[in-house]
Chain A
Amino acid sequence: EAQVTQNPRYLITVTGKKLTVTCSQNMNHEYMSWYRQDPGLGLRQIYYSMNVEVTDKGDVPEGYKVSRKEKRNFPLILESPSPNQTSLYFCASSFSYRGEAFFGQGTRLTVV
């Protein structure tokens, strides 16, 4: 089954404790992206990747890092999480930058 898998689905952490949210896709897509979803703001892009070892900032990259060492994986790293990073996060992948984006189930992160 074609899918984008994120882990964990839920995470509560404390300020400053490094964390990683994993994302994996099995569709051999080149394009992958991370979004955060906040009420009334829709989905805002954090980082995107056009291929292995090629990443770039989206609209709200501050406080986040990503890596793309393999085509299928695109982890999101929060080196020092802060409460304003409490949000619902989605990973997405697509075959091309103008094609259908497939989203993961989401990761609800709470930073206290």
Chain B
Amino acid sequence: GENVEQHPSTLSVQEGDSAVIKCTYSDSASNYFPWYKQELGKGPQLIIDIRSNVGEKKDQRIAVTLNKTAKHFSLHITETQPEDSAVYFCAASLGNAGNMLTFGGGTRLMVKP
């Protein structure tokens, strides 16, 4: 089955700096890659996603890049703010009807004011 690895497990940045979280996946058939943000005491919430026919996608301060050849994808957050502090999960989907999403281990991002 699919295996997703995520790095780093913790990331501390100063407010205003950029943050980058990287994930690799094992199954070249995966074609949907979402990123979820989990705030304390809440369930994960989708923040951005990318499909395998696209190399990059942006939404205001966040962007995701996908390298299908290398089987890795990354989340980029620019101009970080304290409210960006949370746990972020990457995920991959094979795009078939079973096994909806395989998640990475998560990254705890701390943005220091």
Count chain B CB atoms within 10 A of each CB in A4, A42, A90 and give the residue with the most: A42
Using CB atoms, name the residue of chain B closest to A44: B103
A87 to B36, CA, bound (A): 19
Given A31-B100, A42-B105, A44-B103, A100 and B49 contact (CB-CB distance below 8 Å): yes
Q: Answer yes or no: A12 CB below 8 A from chain B CBs.
A: no
Chain B neighbourhood of A94, CB < 8 A: 100
- A 47-72 binary contact with B (CB < 8 Å = 1; else 0): 01010000010110000000000000
Interface pair B103/A43, CB less than 8 Å apart: yes
Interface pair A104/B43, CB less than 8 Å apart: yes
Identify which of residues 60-110 in chain B touch chain A, using a CB-to-CB cut-off of 8 Å.
89, 93, 95-106
Interface pair B43/A103, CB less than 8 Å apart: yes
Chain A neighbourhood of B46, CB < 8 A: 100-101
**For chains A and B in complex, what number of residue pairs have CB atoms within 8 angstroms?**
70
A25 to B99, CA, bound (A): 19
Q: Which secondary structure dominates where chain A touches chain B?
A: strand
Chain B neighbourhood of A59, CB < 8 A: 1, 99, 102
Q: Answer yes or no: A24 CB below 8 A from chain B CBs.
A: no
Q: Answer yes or no: A13 CB below 8 A from chain B CBs.
A: no
Chain A neighbourhood of B36, CB < 8 A: 103
Interface pair B95/A98, CB less than 8 Å apart: yes
Count chain B CB atoms within 10 A of each CB in A43, A44, A90, A104 and give the residue with the most: A43
Interface pair B42/A105, CB less than 8 Å apart: yes
A50 to B98, CA, bound (A): 8
Chain B neighbourhood of A92, CB < 8 A: 43, 100
Interface pair A50/B97, CB less than 8 Å apart: yes
Interface pair A58/B99, CB less than 8 Å apart: yes
Using CB atoms, name the residue of chain A closest to B31: A98
Chain B neighbourhood of A35, CB < 8 A: 103
Interface residues of B (CB under 8 A from A): 1, 4, 6, 9, 31-32, 34, 36, 41-46, 49, 51, 89, 93, 95-106
